[in-house]
Structure formats: C-alpha cells, structure tokens
Structure 1
Amino acid sequence: MNRQQKINIAAKTIAMAGLLTLGGCMVGPDFKQPESGLPQTWQDQYSKRLMNEGQVANKWWEQFHDPVLSQLINQVSTSNLDLKMAAERLSQSKAIFQSVASERLPSVDGGVSYNRGRSSQKGLADIAGLDGKSNFNVWDTGIDSTWEVDLWGRVKRAVEAADAKVTVAESDRQAVYLSLMAETASHYIRLRGIQELLEVTQQNLDTANKAVNLTQIKFEQGVATDLDVSEASALQASIQARIPSLEQQASETMNALSLLTAQPPSSLNKTLTHRSKIPSLDSTIAMGVPSELAQRRPDIRRAEAQLHAATASIGIAEANFYPSITLSGSMGFQANQLSDLGSWSTHRFAFGPSVNIPIFEGGRLKAMLELSEGQQKEAALAYQKTVLSAWHEVDDAVLGLENQQKRERHLEEAVAQSRKALASAQSQYKQGTSDYLNVLSVQNSLLANELDLATSKASKSLAAVRLYKALGGGWKDS
C-alpha cells in the first residue's frame, strides 16, 4: 500500500464519520417553555393611586430620590463578597459547559517518547530483532486522535443540559444581586426610621424636662404636689430609657450596611450618622404586566432552566441504550535511531472505529432513565410552585403597601390631634384648672402616636422595597 492509498483511507474514514453524524438523530424529548399560568392583568382591586402598568423600574432604588441610598447600592454592587462569590460560581459553570462542549470535537494528542531496553532471549516477542542479545533504542513520535460519533445526540443533550445549568448559575447571581439591593435599601430605610424615632424621643424628652422644671417650680410655690413632681420625673426617666436601645439599633444597622459593602465595622458611621429623612416614593409604582414576571424574576428563570436541564438529561439516559461508535486513529514515526526518525520508512499509522453495544446492564440503564424522568417531573412541579409563590409574593406586597399607606394617614391625623390636646392640657395645668395627670396622659399618647408614625413611614417604604423585589426589578442592571 503506497502513501496515497493510505491518505485515501484516512479521508474516507473521516467522511464516513461525518455522514454518520449528519444521519444521526436526537433521542429524548425536546424542551418546550412551560406555561406560567399567570393572569393577563393584575387584579382590579389594586389601588390605581399606588400602582400602574408601566415598565418596572430597573434601578428602582432611584425612585426614592436619596443620593446616599444610591451611593450605598453602587458600593454593594461592586464590593459585596456574596455577589463576587456568585460571579465565581457562574464562571465555574461556564467552565463546565466548555468542558462538556469540547466532546463535540475530536480529541487530538501529540507526544514524543524514548525507551532503551532489551528483549528476553526466551520471550515470545523481540521487537528489535536482536534475539535479546543486546540493548536497543526506540524513538517514537506521533499524533493520536479519538472522536465519538454522536449518532443519538447524547453529546448534544449533554451540551444542552450544561448550557441550561449556566443559566441556572446566571439566575442565581441575579437573585443574589436583587436580594442584596433589597437588603441594602431595607437596612438604610430602617436606619433612617430609627434616627427619626431618636429625634422624636429627644423632642419629647425636651418637653418632659420642661415639665419637670415647671412642676418643681409650682411645687415650691405650693400649687403642685410632690405626686406631680414624681409623675413628671418618672415620665422623663421613661423617655430617657428609650434612647440607649435606639442608639444600639442604629449602630447595628450601620454595621450591617458596612458588612454589605465589605467594609470593617463603623466604616460608614461618618456618612450615615448625619440624620436624613426616611426615603419615600413620590409617585406610583410601575408593576408591568403579570406575563413579564416569568422573565424578570430570577427564581422563575432558574426553575425554568432547571427544568430544561432535567429534560435534556432524559435524552442522555435514552442515548445510553443505543450503540456508541468511537473513531480513533494515530500516525507518527518510530525508529531505533534518532537520525532515522522522520523518514518515510519509519512512519506508522492506524485508523478504525470501535463499537460499544450495551447487551446486559442488569437494569441500570432503565433505572437511570426512570430517575431522569422522575427528576424532570419534579422540576416541572418546582417551576409551577415557584411561579405561584411569586404571584403570592406580589399580591401580599401590594396589599401590604396599600395598608401601610392607610395606616400612615390615620397616624398623621392622630399626631395632629394629640399635639392640639397636649397644648390645651398644658395651658389648663398652668392656669390651675386641671391636674398634672391629664398632661401626663396626653403627653404619653402623643409620644406613642409620634413613634408609631415614624415607624409607619419606614414600614411603608419597606413595603415598597418588598414589592419591587417581588416584581423582580433591578437584576438587569447587574
């Protein structure tokens, strides 16, 4: 056989492999995007004064118009360690995909080897032809190649599953980003709420201090009793006792924000200690349409990708029932002397297919197929549950925001009336027409209402953050 004939054989082998691949089929079910089951529009009972069907804000935190909050979120998006770990997991998933995708191409390896040895004089083989009487050298260089002919689509299904798992990792990273943005905004809103509680408490303490001084003077003048002085002093001490707890809460919240930005404790105190008003929305919240929820929410996208991967795995399990064909070949040079290596007389080659046919596996292949089908059914149920849970979260968040706004309006009215009542009670006490117990009762009522109002303002903004998170806003910016 001359050199041209050998080249022709190699070419025919490669052509046959190509025809086999083109003629192959994909076993297993093809993935179809599942129906989300979400409605066409949001429920009519949602307040139009709070919600609209415009596009959900991508950078939703900017709707609060608080530059410090926006700055914190920028720091978290670039420095947070959980987000960086999620990005690394995504990179690992992409590396796995590249490894699996490489199976679609032939594997080619090259090498050079040298051996010095001697054959046995009594042995069955003497590759050097020296009857085992002297040592010999073997120089070998060449290229080896193997390639699995993907007749049944096993490799394609494996690549499809690996690609879906990249989407899973991408969705996980997006979910971490969305969660961190919501957590940062929530901590910041709580901090501003605590600071407002501190301010309200301090204002009431100032009023209590004045009341103590007033009752002391009236006691000395003989127009007040020691009971009045004791009651005023007790209220003063009670208000003072609230301050250390609030200061501790503020410190812990600032440290939580420092951790989110990957900084040491107290790093943000200089920026955050200066009081600012509680962030509040000055416009309605765009909710989009329900059908967009499946594309926006990272957890729904993740569940869909998990279902895709599980569906592709069925094809892998089915392909294992069929014969597999692997083409292998090698070519190179072998000689006893290095100076001869490379000449045509020292060349070697081998080409040929190998076929592996599963005959008896003891039920292993059937069990693996049943396992894959069961996992696919479970993934489909998990997708349905994820969508339904997301729908519930949106509904709860909307109703929560509406109720918090109603509560705030009532508390604003309660505070206004309590302030009027306190001014009237103090005036009557100074004129001697009312005892101090009436002043004390009204002041306690005012303090409670003012504290509830400050808490309600923060709760309303926290409810807006919860709604934005439920809608899946923000992750695209990551």
Structure 2
Amino acid sequence: MKRYLIIPVVGLTLLAAGCSLKPQYTRPEAPVSQDWPEAQAAAQAVAERSQPMDLEWREFITDQALQVVIQTALENNRDLKLAILNVQRVQALYGVQRAELFPSIGASGSSSHTKTPADLSYSGQITESDSYRVDLGVTAWEADFFGRIRSLKDAALESYLATEEAQRSAQIALISAVANAYLKLAADQEHLKLSESTLQSQKDAYHLIKSRFELGLASELDLLRAQTQVETARGDIALFTRLISQDKNALILLSGTTVPLPERVFPQKLENVQPFKSVSVGIPSETLLTRPDILAAEHQLKAANANIGAARAAFFPRIALTGSVGTASVELSDLFGSGQGTWSFMPQISVPIFDPRVYSAYKVSQADMDIAVAQYEKAIQTAFRETADAIAVENTVGEQLSAGEALVEALDKSYTLAGVRYDKGIDSYLSVLDAQRSLYSAQQQLIDIRIAKLANQIRLYTVLGGGAQ
C-alpha cells in the first residue's frame, strides 16, 4: 500500500519543479557616461598599473607598520565583526527558506488504553482494549506548482549575497579608515615638528630683538611682533599635541584591540610612510560594476525581482499534501511484526477568490522593484562621482605638490633676505614678520598637500573596489 502514497507525492514534486512566475531579470543600463570626465588623463594613467580588484591590500599598502594596524583592525574591529555576523545570520535564513522546498518528514507514535463499563458495552460486560500505532509521514507540505516557494528561496539567496557584498564593503571602508587615520597621525606629527622648529626659531628671534630693544636698537613694536609669533607657535604645538592624541585614539578604536598598539607602529613623518602602488582606473562599465556596494545593490534588485514571482504565484491555487504510512497493533510486541499496515493521503487545495491583500501585495512587490532599480542606479552614479573626483585629484595633485614645494623654497629665501635687510636697518621687522608668516603657512599647506596626495591614492584604490579580498 505504501507505493500508492509514494507515487503521487513524487509525481507532484516533479510537476511542481517545472513552473515559475518570476519575471526574467535584465540588468538596467548604467546611468552614467561610458568614459570618465578626465578621459584622456585617465587613459594615460592606465598604462603599467594594476586593476584594484586584482590587487590585494597588502600589495597596495607596502608600509609594514600600517599593515600591522590594518591586520589588527581586520581581526578585531567590532563593526566588521557585526557585518560578518550579519552574513552568517542571513545565510542561515536562506537555509530556512530553501528547506521549504522539501517535505518535512516526521515520525509519531501513540498508544491508547480504554475501559468500557458493562452498562455501556455491547456485550454487557466490562471490556478493556489496547492499541499501539507508529506513523511516518509528511504534514502539510506545499507542492510548489507556481514557483512561490522557489521565488522566495531565490529572494533569500539574493539577500544573503547582498549581505555578503555588504561585508566586503565594510572591509574596504575599514581599510580606508585605518589608512587615512594613520596618514592623519603622520601629518599631525609633522605639523607638530614644524611648530616646534618654528617656536625655537621665533624664540631665538625674540631674544635677539629683546636684546636690541634693551640697547635701544629696536622698537617695542618689533618686540611685541616677535612675541606674537612665539605665542602663535606655542598655540600650534598645543593644538597638534592634542590632535596627535586624538589620532592615536582613533587608530586604537579602529583596531578594536584591548591591547595597546605598540608605539613603533605610529608614524613620525609622512615621508616615512612607504608609497602606495599605483592602480588603473579602467572604464566605468568594467570597473564600477565590480564594486561590492554595487553588487550588493544588484543582488537586492534580483531579490525584489524574485519577490514579484512570489506575489504573482499568490493569485494561483496552493496545494498542500499530508500523508503517512505506519503500522498498528493491539499488542506492543506485535507492532513491528504482525501489526496491520496503515496509510493516509490527504491533499488540500486553497483557491484565492476574493482577497484584496493578494493584489496589494503584488503592487507592493512592483513598487519594491522600482525602488531597488532606483537604488541600484543611484549606487552606480555615486560610485561614478567618487571615482571621477579621485581621478580629478590624481591628475592635479602632482602639479599642486610641485608648486607647493617651489613656493616654500621661494618663501624660505624671502624670509632669509628679509632678516638680512632688517639686520642692516633697511626694512622694519614687519617685513620679517610677513615673510615668516607666509613661510610657516606655506609649510603647513605643503604638509596638507602631501597627505592629500597619499589619501587620494587610498581613495582611488577603494572607490574602484580594491581591498575586498
């Protein structure tokens, strides 16, 4: 008798596997130009450079101390841990949804013992009876004729893949944040050293003018002007000392470790940071679509597409199958021996006739699809803008750095000549003061340009999807 149950179940399973109402997925056209705004300069930058997606972060970032900090962060950062745990959670949810495709088989056993009084018994005597039963079967398994469960399974899979890409995006963001915090610390260290050097030179100038003032060779105004430079440098030292402490705290937070980072990993100068490897920008259609955040948006788009299939299937009948095979006996010892075979097969069909919720749910799935398309297109546009901005900086920062270095050199000579002219009594100390202020400002700006150049290399690497390996 068991085969009469197995044959229809298998037949319905095979039939259910052949239909799906999920729309055919088509990737939307990228709503951006086929070339970067700086197309010619970008093309020149491609030669002999590596693609970011093919360049592991340790190959791009060659500074060993920075590698230590990044590796520590990848192992301990709590935000990244949350992203990884979210991946594991969604993966488990996908397993739950996928399991809905298969029948859940369970076993049950029961026994009953009854006693019937004589006045209720047909025989007029007290009767006692025992029965034992064991069943193996399927309870309310939905035969997925119209692909509702498979569409939900596909949506769960795409959500899992989107979360996995989000975790890769989190890793890229963490690497970028650590590298930028590291560079900021190096820049602030350099600013501090510049302020200390400036303070010492201004102290020397102040004491010299003070001596000349006491001899009547300098005015009180010159003395006060020299003092303003001393106090300015003192204030900058306090500022950058505080910023350095905050930069270290930021690195410690990003690293996520309870053990203090060794002092040797903290940079002292920007020039001590090993240069990063140059990368190729490629073309938008090949480069941007491999970014984890865009891949995540596309997976969400595919999930919304699958949900439309599930919403469409809700308009059609659902068939649930319940069946079991087993054995029964009045004696426990004979249950698996001479017990009587039992079986049951109970299909159930439900047909939606009037349910406004079904139509509304379908409209919601279509709206979700439109939202997912807009989010996907926005992700591409954002990535295009980020990359174009990084390219624009790369194409100009070299010239800016060269101009900054030349400016510092010229202002240093101007400051020296102003001091000579003041010593010879040709000019007032105001000309020395202006030259020194200009030189100090240009030196600070040069540090900022250097960090901007290094930071943009990191930005270009990350916006092109590097660091997700």
TM-score by length of 1: 0.89
1:27 matched residue in structure 2: 21
The question of 1:389 aligning with 2:386 is answered: no
2:302 matched residue in structure 1: 308
Write the distance in 2 (CA, Å) between the matches of 1:192 and 1:173: 29
**Offset of 1:297 from its aligned partner?**
1.3
Secondary structure class of the residue paired with 1:143: strand
1:195 matched residue in structure 2: 189
Amino acid at match of 1:56: Q
Amino acid at match of 2:83: A
1:356 matched residue in structure 2: 350
Secondary structure class of the residue paired with 2:328: strand
1:375 matched residue in structure 2: 368
CA 376–156 in structure 1, closer or farther in 2 if over 3 Å, else same: same
1:7 matched residue in structure 2: 2
CA 112–15 in structure 1, closer or farther in 2 if over 3 Å, else same: closer
What do the CA deviations read for 1:180-238 (whole angstroms, capped 9, x no partner)? 11111111111111111111111111111111221123234432233333322221122
CA 96–281 in structure 1, closer or farther in 2 if over 3 Å, else same: same
1:326 matched residue in structure 2: 320
Write the distance in 1 (CA, Å) between the matches of 2:67 and 2:44: 22
Is the 8 Å Cα contact of residues 2 and 325 (structure 2) preserved in structure 1? no
Secondary structure class of the residue paired with 2:223: helix
Write the distance in 2 (CA, Å) between the matches of 1:414 and 1:61: 35
Secondary structure class of the residue paired with 1:26: coil
CA 375–133 in structure 1, closer or farther in 2 if over 3 Å, else same: farther
Amino acid at match of 1:20: L
Corresponding residue to 1:416 among 409, 418, 421: 409
CA 381–469 in structure 1, closer or farther in 2 if over 3 Å, else same: same
Secondary structure class of the residue paired with 2:27: coil
Amino acid at match of 1:66: D
Corresponding residue to 1:66 among 63, 67, 71: 63
What do the CA deviations read for 1:112-155 (whole angstroms, capped 9, x no partner)? 334555569999xx9xx999956654433221214322211112
2:88 matched residue in structure 1: 91
CA 459–332 in structure 1, closer or farther in 2 if over 3 Å, else same: same
Write the distance in 1 (CA, Å) between the matches of 2:112 and 2:421: 113
2:425 matched residue in structure 1: 432
Write the distance in 2 (CA, Å) between the matches of 1:49 and 1:434: 52
Q: Could you tell which deviates more after superposition, 226-235 or 104-113?
A: 226-235
Write the distance in 2 (CA, Å) between the matches of 1:243 and 1:131: 110
Amino acid at match of 1:52: V
**Offset of 1:411 from its aligned partner?**
1.7
Corresponding residue to 1:78 among 75, 80, 87: 75
**Offset of 1:96 from its aligned partner?**
0.9
Is the 8 Å Cα contact of residues 66 and 265 (structure 2) preserved in structure 1? no
Pairs within 5 Å for 1:145-224: 145-146=138-139, 147-224=141-218
Is the 8 Å Cα contact of residues 270 and 451 (structure 2) preserved in structure 1? no
Secondary structure class of the residue paired with 2:29: coil
Report the count of equivalent residues. Answer: 464
Secondary structure class of the residue paired with 1:51: helix
What do the CA deviations read for 1:364-401 (whole angstroms, capped 9, x no partner)? 21111111112112211221222122111211222233
Write the distance in 1 (CA, Å) between the matches of 2:206 and 2:212: 10
1:51 matched residue in structure 2: 45
Write the distance in 2 (CA, Å) between the matches of 1:174 and 1:132: 78
What do the CA deviations read for 1:216-266 (whole angstroms, capped 9, x no partner)? 23234432233333322221122111111111111111111111111249x
Corresponding residue to 2:455 among 438, 462, 467: 462
Q: Percent identity?
A: 27
2:256 matched residue in structure 1: 262
**Offset of 1:450 from its aligned partner?**
0.6
Secondary structure class of the residue paired with 1:104: coil
1:401 matched residue in structure 2: 394
Write the distance in 2 (CA, Å) between the matches of 1:120 and 1:465: 89
Amino acid at match of 1:171: E
**Offset of 1:49 from its aligned partner?**
9.3
1:106 matched residue in structure 2: 103
Q: Could you tell which deviates more after superposition, 420-429 or 308-317?
A: 420-429
1:291 matched residue in structure 2: 285
1:142 matched residue in structure 2: 135
1:3 matched residue in structure 2: none
TM-score by length of 2: 0.90
Write the distance in 1 (CA, Å) between the matches of 2:81 and 2:117: 62
**Offset of 1:469 from its aligned partner?**
2.4
Corresponding residue to 1:42 among 33, 36, 43: 36
2:11 matched residue in structure 1: 16
CA 194–132 in structure 1, closer or farther in 2 if over 3 Å, else same: farther
Write the distance in 2 (CA, Å) between the matches of 1:122 and 1:327: 42
Write the distance in 1 (CA, Å) between the matches of 2:71 and 2:225: 50
Amino acid at match of 1:42: W
Write the distance in 2 (CA, Å) between the matches of 1:177 and 1:189: 18
2:333 matched residue in structure 1: 339
Unaligned ranges ≥5, structure 2: none
